[in-house]
Amino acid sequence: MDTQRIEALWTHLHWLNVLAMHGSYTAAAARLGVSKAAMSQRIAELERVAGVALVQRTTRSVRFTEAGQRLVDDTRAQFESIAASFAGVREMAGIPRGTVRVTAPVAFARQQLVPRLAEFSRAHPEVRIQLEVSDRLTSIASEGYDLAIRHSAQVPETHVASKLCETRSVLVATRTYLQRRGSPQTPDDLAQHDCLYYPRATGSGVWSFERAGRRTDRSRVNVTVTGPLSANNSEALRDAALQHLGIAYLPDFTAQAALREHKLVVVVPAWRPVGTYASHLHLVRPYGAHLPQAVKRFADFLKQTFKDGFPLD
**Could you tell me which residues are beta bridge partners of residue 210?**
272
Question: How do the pLDDT tens digits run along the chain, 313 residues long?
Answer: 555 566 778 888 888 888 888 888 888 888 888 998 998 899 999 888 888 999 987 766 788 999 989 998 888 888 777 776 776 666 655 678 889 999 999 999 999 999 999 999 999 999 999 999 987 766 676 677 899 999 987 776 667 889 999 999 999 999 999 999 999 999 999 999 999 998 864 456 899 999 876 655 567 899 999 999 999 899 999 999 999 999 999 999 999 999 999 999 999 999 999 988 999 999 998 876 678 899 999 999 999 999 999 999 8
Are 251 and 169 in contact by the 8 Å Cβ rule? The answer is yes
From 3.30.470.20, 1.25.40.10, 1.10.10.10, 1.10.1200.10, which CATH number describes the 3-91 domain? 1.10.10.10
Percent of residues in the chain assigned helix, strand, coil, to nearest 5? 40, 25, 35
Are 247 and 267 in contact by the 8 Å Cβ rule? The answer is yes
Residue 22 CA to residue 85 CA, distance in Å, equals: 22
Q: Go through 53-69 and write b for each residue having 16 or more CB atoms within 10 A of its CB, e for each that does not.
A: ebbeeeeeebebeeebe
User: Regarding the domain delimited by 98-166+279-305, which CATH topology (the fold level of the hierarchy) does it fall under?
Assistant: D-Maltodextrin-Binding Protein; domain 2 (3.40.190)
- Please report, for residues 36, 153, 191, 304, the alpha-carbon distance to residue 118 in angstroms, rounded to integers and kept in the order given: 31, 30, 44, 15
Tell me which architecture the domain covering 169-274 has in CATH. Answer: 3-Layer(aba) Sandwich (3.40)
Q: Are 98-166+279-305 and 169-274 in the same CATH fold?
A: yes
DSSP for 247-288, please give it. Answer: EEEEEHHHHHHHHHTTSSEESSTTEEEESSS-SEEEEEEE--
Q: What is the pLDDT of residue 283?
A: 94
Residue 149 CA to residue 163 CA, distance in Å, equals: 10
* Tally of CB atoms within 10 A around 151: 20
> Could you tell me whether strands 271-274 and 205-211 are parallel, antiparallel, or unpaired per DSSP bridges?
antiparallel
* Tally of CB atoms within 10 A around 51: 7
Map out the domains of the chain as residue ranges.
Answer: 3-91, 98-166+279-305, 169-274
